[in-house]
Each structure stands twice: as C-alpha cells, then as structure tokens.
Chain A
C-alpha cells in the first residue's frame, strides 16, 4: 500500500468525521451523535499503529476542541490517552472478533465521555442530563459501521 495515499485517506476520513460531529441533526438524533473523530482515530491506530499515533490524536483533539468550542485541550487529552491504550493493546485487539472489539471501544468512549463530563463541570456546572451518556452507546453501535466502512476505504 502506498504511504502517501494512506496519509490522504487518514486526513480526509478525519475531516469527514469532524463534519459528521457537527452535522445539523434533529434534536433527538443530535443527542445520539457519537464521537466520530475518536472512532476513526481508534480505527486508524488499530490498522496502522506505526503511522497513526498519539501525535495525530493530540493534533486532531485540539482541532476538535476549536471546532466544538470546548476548553482548549480537553479532547486532545482524552484522545491521546485513548489512542495510547489502543496502541498498547493493538496486537490483541486485532485478533478479537468485532463484538469483543466493540466492548473495548465502549470502554474507550466511556473514558472519553467521563473526562468530558469532568471538564464540562469544571468549566461551568451545567445541568447535564442522563442523555449526556447516550453517545457512548450509539458510538459502540456505530463501531461496526465505522470498522467496515474504514476497512473498505483502506483497501480501496
């Protein structure tokens, strides 16, 4: 596989993920909108860990912070932490069936959302409802889609 092509693919897929992140969905669906950027980052760091690492995660985390208007560094922190976890276990994770992988993704999304919850409360004690945690579930469900779509993109 061509390295340069891969670079373009990584970049474009992450840009699309960022667009999906701010997609104008109706209110009920918006509550379910998962963290696409993190899912795509997890996929790439599983597929080509030698190319996509903590640096990518950090950079795209900062961009997501600016895009979403969060405190500077909160997505950068959670993304780099999670990509680190993925990199540690990527050998085992690759052997896992998709369902077991999605369990791991669930854990990752939960950690990320927990960190986000903490930062949001730090910034301003917002009244966060139970719906705040819904993206974790929908993200786990979307992992199947992300995995297949991204594998298609990678092998295309």
Chain B
C-alpha cells in the first residue's frame, strides 16, 4: 500500500517535471536542503586552494604580479583598438540600416568541485538565482565559450558544457563565415561537426566562433578550433571534430553573461565609452 502511494507520487512528479517547468519552485525550495551539501563537499578543496595561496612565496607573487601588469597593458592597448573598431562597425551598420546588439554584463562564478554524473558534462557553480542567474544564459571563460546555464537554483546553478552529448551550439567559421552546428561529443575536449555539406570549405585549424543564431549565445565568441581530419572527397562522411578553446576541465572561474536582447536603434548617436576618439 505504501509502495503504491510512493510510486504514484513519484510517477506524478516525473510526468509533471517532464511536461512542464511547474516544479521549479519545489526544486528551488528543496535545494535549500541539498545545496549546503554541495558547498560542504567543495569546502576541503577550496580550503586547500586558499592555504596554498597563503603559502605562495613573496617572490612568486611578485613575478606573477609583474606578468599580470604587462598582460593588462597589452590587453588594454588591444581594447583601445577594439573600441575604435566597434564604433566603426556600428557606423557601417547604421549605413546599412542594420541593428547592432551590444551591452553585455558578466558575473564571475566559481566552480564547485563536485561530481554529479560522470556520463554528463554538467558542472555546478556557486552563483544562482539570488544573483539573477537564469536558465539558458551563456557561460564563458577567458578563452572561449564554456556552455550554458542548464538549471538555476537559489544558491547554485548547473552548467551544461558544450561537450555534453545533448548540447549543440550554432557556430560559424571565422575565416569565411560558413555556418554550421557544433554538437557535444560526450568526450571532454571534443566537439563534433556533423552537419557539413559535401563541398564545405573547412580546414584543420579553422577557428569556430559563435554565430549568434538561436539567440542563446552572443555572436563572435571563440568556441573551438577544427582538428586535423583526413582529406577525402566526401566531407559529409568524414568525421570532423574540433577542440574547444575554453579550458573546460581546468578553470575554476567562469563568466556568466547577460546579453542585451533588444537591439539598439542606430538612428540615435551611441555614446558608449569615452575612450575611443572620433
């Protein structure tokens, strides 16, 4: 009898969750009980990292600091050029009467070192709906696209990596703008490119960037580099793979991105940064 009740309740929950998102508040409430466990499991590792930072010698820190300073200088000069280019791009688009998306906000989230299911490529970070994180937000690191927010709970959120077998990301080849879709392979550090036409102009070493189609990922972020593949006449049969640019298994800090989804009309002058000169 009890079994019957338990099974009916569980099946009812399963069906509701499978069909709709109505159980999200229940999950959020229950996650208040389970999220402390996630932080508890993560605690020894983050403690170890903190201690090792404390124990790093003065000299190492000093050299690191100088290196970072230099890197920052280089980055800043590059950004100056980038801003000028962006303005130019906006002006050109205005001539074409095209709209331009801009304004992206980021939040730095730290990975919790826990393991949910080894056959899925899902990671947990320490920022949730309390910080305004919501489903389907793109997640980046300093090198490229990491994945998207799969489920946002109050204190943590689950992130599906681009290598998850159930994940697909619209990309384009940076060299020639060829559009395709990169599907996760289930193997860490590998993406598959199954939807390429026979005569596709793609080479090993091509950089794939987000195309912005589909609306989840903002356009123009690096995703992966195409791997070597045997040259045959029939590319649709050839198994073409790519290696993600982001350090999926090494980074502890990730960026969760908010994109401005309303394109800014270009008839009005855009004042964004005082850094670039007209």
Which residues in A have some Cβ–Cβ distance to B below 8 Å?
15, 18-19, 22-25, 27, 30-31, 33, 53-55, 57-58, 61-63, 66-69, 71-74, 76-77, 80-81, 84, 119, 122-124, 126-129, 131-132
Contact = CB atoms under 8 A, between A and B. Distances in A.
Contacts of B40: 19
B17 A58 contact: no
Contacts of B9: 58, 73, 76
A128 B117 CA distance: 11
A30 B118 contact: yes
Contact of B7 (A30, A63, A77, A124): A77
Interface residues of B, number: 42
B18 A123 contact: yes
Contacts of A122: 18
Given A22-B114, A132-B119, A72 B6 contact: no
The residue in B3, B150, B158 that gathers the most chain A C-beta atoms within 10 A of its C-beta is B3
A37 B4 CA distance: 22
Instruction: Please report whether the interface of chain A is mostly helix, strand, loop or mixed according to DSSP.
Output: helix
B166 A73 contact: no
Nearest to A28: B118
Contacts of B16: 72
A77 B10 contact: yes
Contacts of A63: 30, 33-34
A80 B186 CA distance: 31
A122 B38 CA distance: 26
Looking at chain B's contact residues, is the secondary structure mostly helix, strand, loop, or mixed? Answer: helix
A58 B10 contact: yes
A58 to B, nearest CB: 5
A57 B158 CA distance: 25
Nearest to B3: A84
A80 B6 contact: yes
A30 B121 CA distance: 13
Contact of A58 (B6, B114, B166): B6
A86 to B, nearest CB: 12
Contact of A126 (B13, B166, B188): B166
A24 B2 contact: no
Given A67-B38, A80-B3, A127-B186, A33 B115 contact: yes
B1 to A, nearest CB: 10
Nearest to A30: B118
Contacts of A19: 37, 40-41
A71 B14 contact: yes
Contacts of B31: 66
B198 to A, nearest CB: 25
B158 A72 contact: no
Nearest to A76: B10
A69 B6 contact: no
18 contacts: A19-B41, A22-B115, A24-B41, A55-B6, A58-B6, A62-B13, A66-B27, A69-B150, A71-B14, A72-B13, A72-B16, A72-B23, A73-B11, A73-B13, A77-B10, A81-B7, A84-B3, A126-B186
A17 to B, nearest CB: 10
B115 A30 contact: yes
A123 B9 CA distance: 19
Most buried by A among B18, B26, B38, B118: B118
The 5 closest A-B pairs by CB, nearest first: A73-B13, A77-B10, A80-B6, A73-B10, A24-B113
Contact of A128 (B45, B119, B151): B119
Contacts of A71: 14, 17-18
Nearest to B44: A24
B30 A126 contact: no
A23 B12 CA distance: 30
A131 B118 contact: yes
